[in-house]
Amino acid sequence: MRRLFHKIYLTIIASLFMVAIVAGAGWHLGPNGSPANQAFELAGKLAAAALPPAEAAPNAQQDALTQLTDQLDADLALFDAAERLIASAGDPLPPPGARPGHAKGGWVRGAGGPAWSLSLPDRRWLVVRPQAHHRPSAFGLILFLGSIALLVALCAYPFVRGLTRRLERLQAGVETLGAGNLAARVKVEGRDEVAGLAASFNRAASRIEELVSAHRLLLANASHELRTPLSRIRLGIELYRETGAPRHKADLERDIAELDLLIDEILLASRLDAVGTLQRTEEVDLLALSAEEAARFDDCAAEGEPVIIRGEANLLRRLIRNLLENASRHGKPPIRVEVRRQGASAIVEVVDHGQGIAAAEREHIFTPFHRLKADAQGSGLGLSLVRQIARLHGGDAIVAPRPGEPSCFRVTLPLSSG
């Protein structure tokens, strides 16, 4: 019993048997007010109307019972209140066997098969049993019930098997994904929980494929980008050994700082891709943060209004710093940071007096390791991190040129709900 559809299928069949057993028990053991006992009471009144009164002579009662037997084609037996036999017709019948909870009548068992006992209004008892040629045989009853069970089983099987077949396809998709095929997806069928599970699997598989692809690209680009500073460091060490010139030492320090920054940005980009959520959030004043970062650059100022958002302060600081470093490296001073509210959003804009970015490149510059020129400075990760951090906070980063100020980057972040 290791297949799910076997378990579901047998559960349905067992439930049918339990329904039959409970229904039979309820019919047999139900209270006096049940429909069965009401029917027995009504049958008893009708039988009393067809029989002589209790004080009639035994011969009269016997004749009436014999006539009623011929009309009903059933075995009949009439008992007094003490369950003593008064008259009978047909095969022998058991006494009514009155018991608490069955004062109006009920089933009685005897050698000839089950019979019904009816309580008459004058406290007599009438026991009735259809004659043998009218009673269904045990084999016939079993065949009838078996036919019903077979019909239910045949109708239930396609539904049960269809459900478990979808689960098997989902299992095959999981195994395919686990084997390394990141493009594995499963067909979403129906609108039930299994369909929801298949949709969740497809979303998870897409996310895994995106993360693995991003990490592969990051690894490939990082290995290429690391070669340049490492080569310069190796050459600088050799030159410094030969000459001992201070300028070679300064070049080494600058190359090491560049390598350290590149590694830091690679690790941060990888962490943001993998985590996908903020770790520690707090109330952050964007204007104060911008002013602190602007003070680190020459000819740079922050202006606007205090705007509070909820986010991770270190990441927001890194976002503003990367924008300022990008403006300082590729733009022209003076540099200005503007902070303001706009509806339900906080706007941070970094503006410099450079030539701006061509429309065809405005999306590409946010791609990791993308550079506008072959000899451009930087690692190509700064603006990519800006957009990652902004989207992690529920916002976005775009190039937003202004009239007369073509070099402008805009970051939109949701305001704190508090």
Which of 68-77, 129-138, 197-206, 243-252 is predicted with the least confidence, judged by mean pLDDT? Answer: 129-138
pLDDT at 24: 61
Residue in the structure block whose two tokens are 């497809």: 202
93: left (phi over 0), alpha (psi -120 to 50) or beta: beta
pLDDT band at 1 (very low <50, low <70, confident <90, very high): very low
- Residue 366 per-residue DSSP state: G
SS3 268: helix
CA atoms within 13 A on the CB side of 193: 1
Neighbours of 413 (CB within 10 A): 24
pLDDT at 233: 81
Rounded-to-integer distance, Cα 361 and Cα 333, Å: 22
For the ranges 69-73, 209-213, 279-283, 292-296, the maximum mean pLDDT occurs at 292-296
Helices (H), 179-300: 193-243, 246-275, 286-294
Once rounded to an integer, what is the mean pLDDT over residues 219-242? 74
Bridge-partner residues for 77, per DSSP? 88, 127
Domain limits, CATH 3.30.565.10, in the chain: 278-414
Asked whether residue 77 carries a pLDDT value surpassing 60, the answer given is yes
For the ranges 22-36, 180-194, 344-358, the maximum mean pLDDT occurs at 344-358
Share of the chain above pLDDT 90, in %: 15
User: Is there a contact between 285 and 306 (Cβ–Cβ < 8 Å)?
Assistant: yes
Residue in the structure block whose two tokens are 């076997």: 6
What are the structure tokens assigned to 326, written together? 């990008």
pLDDT at 100: 44
User: Is there a contact between 323 and 350 (Cβ–Cβ < 8 Å)?
Assistant: yes
Domain limits, CATH 3.30.450, in the chain: 31-135
Rounded-to-integer distance, Cα 341 and Cα 349, Å: 11
Rounded-to-integer distance, Cα 289 and Cα 311, Å: 12
Burial 220-245 (b: 16+ CB within 10 A, else e): ebbeebeeebeebbeebeebbeeeee
Residue in the structure block whose two tokens are 């100020």: 405
Which of 40-49, 289-298, 379-388 is predicted with the least confidence, judged by mean pLDDT? Answer: 40-49
Rounded-to-integer distance, Cα 263 and Cα 363, Å: 24
Give pLDDT tens digits for 262-282.
Answer: 777 777 777 776 666 777 888
pLDDT band at 4 (very low <50, low <70, confident <90, very high): low
343: left (phi over 0), alpha (psi -120 to 50) or beta: left
Q: Give one DSSP letter per residue of 306-330, joined into a string.
A: --EEEE-HHHHHHHHHHHHHHHHHH
CATH architecture of 185-276: Orthogonal Bundle (1.10)
Rounded-to-integer distance, Cα 99 and Cα 103, Å: 7
CA distances 342 to 307, 346, 353, 403, Å, are 10, 6, 24, 19
Asked whether residue 121 carries a pLDDT value surpassing 50, the answer given is yes
User: Is there a contact between 352 and 333 (Cβ–Cβ < 8 Å)?
Assistant: yes
Helices (H), 33-123: 35-50, 58-72
User: Is there a contact between 68 and 76 (Cβ–Cβ < 8 Å)?
Assistant: yes
What are the structure tokens assigned to 143, written together? 């065949």
Compute the C-alpha angle 360/362/367, nearest 5°.
110
Q: Does domain 31-135 bear CATH number 3.30.450?
A: yes
Domain limits, CATH 1.10.287, in the chain: 185-276
Q: Does domain 278-414 bear CATH number 3.40.50.300?
A: no
pLDDT at 257: 78
**How does the average pLDDT of the chain come out, rounded?**
79
User: Is there a contact between 177 and 198 (Cβ–Cβ < 8 Å)?
Assistant: no
Compute the C-alpha angle 24/28/32, nearest 5°.
135
User: Is there a contact between 371 and 361 (Cβ–Cβ < 8 Å)?
Assistant: no
What are the structure tokens assigned to 198, written together? 């298949």
Bridge-partner residues for 338, per DSSP? 303, 349
For the ranges 10-14, 47-51, 179-183, 299-303, the maximum mean pLDDT occurs at 299-303
Give pLDDT tens digits for 370-400.
Answer: 666 644 555 667 888 899 889 989 999 999 9
